[in-house]
Structure 1
């Protein structure tokens, strides 16, 4: 499954899926802030686990939208 990237101003949120032990999956978002010399990265994880990678990916995409929606430019 390919990652998906969303951008808002100098922020880029990349949603992906992380496999876990026991056949579960977790959605993950890396938020990058490009403000000059060195980009700053912050990792966010979906709180719940999912039984399929597709479900975890949908959760990660929703989290990325929420994170970017809360950013004031």
Structure 2
């Protein structure tokens, strides 16, 4: 799979996954392990995680907002 998907896209996809999944994915292949342990990925992951909002929060925001 990693040969078919560009490395940059793999990184962007992984940034949106839960940390528990990333822990398991470290053992998939060496390139994923290197990516997950890189300082650039870790910084990007932390930045991305605060942007992810649960579906329930979106529902609540939509319900309480005045349009």
TM over 0.5: no
From the CA coordinates, give the structure whose radius of gyration is larger.
Answer: 2
Compute the TM-score of the two structures, normalised by the length of structure 2. 0.29
Q: Which has the higher strand share?
A: 1
